[in-house]
Every structure is written in structure tokens, then in C-alpha cells.
């Protein structure tokens, strides 16, 4: 932890949190600013600033707890659906710089905002992106 991190404080039990579930690798707790009732954050116990800083095995460990939390919220709250999201970097909307995944119960007609507006891409745009990704993969 490079500077005071509120999620590290929660993981270490030095800050209060409404813990939903935890294991040896990750902790899940209700966010204090929920999009819907039950909106839960899942964080790795070890500090990682974002997805690029989180080792692959750390992502897998968080994903396992996300899956368990979503099943628990489904049983407890009976939502119509579930959104699982993450943002890396301020440009993507990350506000707390400790990797975290959002597990958000969804109901028909809820007013939770979506993260982006989508438009259909032109085939040439998709080909250009694929070419750049393929070139990066070949490095």
C-alpha cells in the first residue's frame, strides 16, 4: 500500500464495512454509495492499484468471490438480473485506486445508470482494432 487506501483499511479491519463474504484472497462488502440495494464491492486482500497492477491469479481469485457473492445476492434479494463491472483508471471512472469489482443486483425498472452509451461499429473500424490487437499479441 503506497498511500492510505480505504479498501486496504477495510481489508485489515481498521475501517468499518458491511462485509458480505470473504475468503483468504478477497473481501466483499456493501458499498456506501449503492446503485441498487445489495451493490457489493469485491476487492483483493493484497493491494493492487487496478487491473493492470493485479496479477492474473489475483484476478481469478477476485472472480471466484464475485461468483459466490452474485449467487448469495440472488438468493437473498431475488433480483431480475445482475451487473458485474470494473473500471481501470480515472478515464474509465475509477475513483478508489485499489482494484475492485462491482456486483450490482438489477431489477426491471431500476434507475441504475449504465457505464457507457453504445453504437454499432463499422466493419472497417472493427478490422482496424483487430489488426492492432493482433500486432500487439505478436510482440
Active site residue ranges: 100
Torsion, Cα 51 9 85 102, to 10 degrees, reads 160
In angstroms, the CA 33 to CA 86 distance is 15
**Nearest CA-CA partner of 95 in 6, 21, 3, 25:** 6
Cell numbers at 129, concatenated: 482494432
44-78 burial, b if ≥16 CB within 10 A, otherwise e? bbbbbbbbeebeeebbebbeebbebbbebbeeeee
Burial bucket for residue 107 (CB in 10 Å: 0-12, 13-18, 19+): middle
Cell numbers at 115, concatenated: 457505464
Amino acid at each position: 500500500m503506497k498511500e492510505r487506501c480505504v479498501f486496504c483499511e477495510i481489508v485489515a479491519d481498521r475501517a468499518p464495512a458491511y462485509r458480505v463474504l470473504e475468503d483468504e484472497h478477497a473481501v466483499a462488502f456493501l458499498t456506501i454509495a449503492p446503485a441498487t440495494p445489495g451493490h457489493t464491492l469485491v476487492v483483493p486482500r493484497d493491494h493492487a492499484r487496478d487491473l493492470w497492477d493485479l496479477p492474473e491469479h489475483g484476478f481469478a481469485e477476485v472472480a471466484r468471490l464475485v461468483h459466490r457473492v452474485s449467487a448469495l445476492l440472488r438468493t437473498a434479494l431475488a433480483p431480475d438480473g445482475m451487473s458485474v463491472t470494473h473500471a481501470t483508471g480515472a478515464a474509465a471512472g475509477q475513483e478508489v485506486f485499489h482494484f475492485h469489482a462491482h456486483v450490482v443486483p438489477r431489477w426491471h425498472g431500476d434507475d441504475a445508470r449504465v457505464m457507457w452509451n453504445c453504437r454499432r461499429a463499422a466493419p472497417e473500424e472493427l478490422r482496424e482494432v483487430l489488426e492492432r490487437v493482433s500486432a500487439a499479441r505478436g510482440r
